[in-house]
Amino acid sequence: MSPHDEPLVIPVATEMDITLVRQAVRQHATRLGFSLVDMTKLVTASSELARNAVKYGGGGSATLQVVRQGGRNGLTVTFEDSGPGILDVDAALRDGFTSGNGMGLGLGGARRLVNDFQLHTMVGVGTRVVVTRWL
């Protein structure tokens, strides 16, 4: 994927797809020249968010897009689901908060692992999380 490439959309329906998201992010981050630590952080954040989309959002998609800003490249991954949405965003971003059986580290943890983090959610409509790590 060069900076001009089309975004890559990966359906995220089952937990097996979480592995596919990890693979795709790993591949693209490596090709863009991310350091090992930065790549590991982005892949891990993507894994958490893909799992959220599967477990809480009833499935959705992950979209990978190479982005460029002020002469530097980055990788943006957008997670979208049409699940129940998040009622209390502040609580959901706090460590230890979970409505499932996880550790409650997913959302807040993912935010710490990336440079840019945007969360859009609407109850009854769905959730979109956009994360970017810059080179």
CB of 17 to other proteins, least distance (A): 9
Residues that bind other proteins (CB under 8 A): 15-16, 18-19, 22-23, 26, 36-37, 39-41, 43-44, 47-48, 51, 95, 102-103, 105-106, 108-110, 112-113
The least CB distance from residue 125 to other proteins, in Å, is: 26
Classify residue 34 by its DSSP letter.
-
Identify which of residues 86 and 114 has a Cβ nearer to other proteins in the complex. 114
The residue among 3 and 100 lying less far from other proteins, judged by its C-beta, is 100
Q: Which residues have C-beta within 8 Å of that of residue 108, sequence separation ≥ 6?
A: 93, 94, 95, 97
| 79-106 exposure pattern, b = at least 16 Cβ within 10 A, e = fewer | bbbbbbbbeeeeebbeeebeeeeeebeb
